[in-house]
Chain A
Amino acid sequence: MRHMLGIKGLTRDEITRILDTAERFKAVSERRIKKVPTLRGRTVISAFFENSTRTRMSFELAAKRLSADTLSFSASSSSTRKGETLMDTARNLDAMKPDAIIMRHPASGAPHMLARNFPWTVINAGDGINEHPSQALLDMLTMRDHLGSLAGKRVAIVGDIYHSRVARSNIFGLTTMGAQVVVAGPGTMCLPGLSDFGVEVRHRIDDVVEDADVIMMLRVQRERLGRAMISSVREYARFYGLDLDRLGKARPDVVVMHPGPINRGVEMSPEVADGERSVIMEQVTNGIAVRMALLYLLLGEGRPALGGDDAAA
């Protein structure tokens, strides 16, 4: 495994190996000296072409706690933007001899383009509506912490499934790990074709909360309003939001997750977000361990051969 472009194509063993490695890295962040020398002398650049605070900070902390030299830059990117192309930006980065680029980009497939053309490791930190692999891995780690194993567990994902890279990566990962995935959301965001990925497609949130081991709520992108995707925020909250009433119908030990940032009162009420079933802050903590594991497995000494998306290499 040279790149981490997506969960799609990873095997159960590969995912398990990443999660097991992350498990071991959790301890580093609990120490007083939160640093190990694993990636000393390696250069990791985070290149974010789309706004993100938590993912970038999480990756940077992960790299720093592994003693890598890190730097980051943010740039805007759009089809109408004048100026340097992504390929030119990457050629410049390449000239600086990095070991890995952590990349977020609003266009699906952008990290794949760099992975195909350059010698360094590319880690996808979210590309368009395609994948957000480190998020899915930290989600699966968090689920595993609470459920022991993922096999046979029932995970409900609620919201804008179609435009969510978090949902897509989780669907690929969870189905590979043997979990049952059920999705619910507005008709414009929860297309029937998803059932071909081994996912059960429902629409009403009430149909999916009752027997779920995990309820994962997705963030509503307000820019979808006005593009004939949803009619109003209040209607969305009424039919697809998770509040205490709905949570009351779920199993008492249900695990409630959200990739953040939360629109309080829209997809999730504050009482649920801050309630005892919520593991949202654990997700954030686990994010660092998972990203340390990824950096270690991709860049560390004796890089293990895991196969997977290496076809492009």
Chain B
Amino acid sequence: MDIFTIIFWIITISLTIVALVKEKRRTFEAMKKSRSMMGNMLGQIISIIFLIGLILTFIPPESIKSVLGSSNVISGTIISGLAGAITLIPAFVAFPLVGSLVTAGASIIPAAAFLTTLTMVGFVTFPLEKKEFGTKFALSRNLLSFIFALIIAMMIGVIL
């Protein structure tokens, strides 16, 4: 567990104690409600995790290199954005990978597009988001995220 997760846990446990001391009965009632809500999501979450494992096997992080290093900046940026939306590379792998490419001379714009869609657009979590918040919400949020990721990338290219 990294330090941030540990802090997150410490805050959660202290708040739980406060809640139990203040409103014991209501806290247990709320826990029952949460249990049924999260129980409904758990199956989906576990399948998403195994789906990520599959995607990582068939689209390994190294394959991103050829996409990010493409010579045409505009098409390279869009393809990098799409690659970031579909794949789910852990951030601690993605940053060194992209960093090494930029140091080697690759354009910074596709790199920024890739890093932004990687976290903001959830292709694999889309089914769960759709189920919990509705198609319109999930579609709007993910499409807007994709468009804004491209805008962010372009602006980084202008500024830096």
A binds B: no
**A interface residues with partner B (beta carbon < 8 Å):** none
**B interface residues with partner A (beta carbon < 8 Å):** none
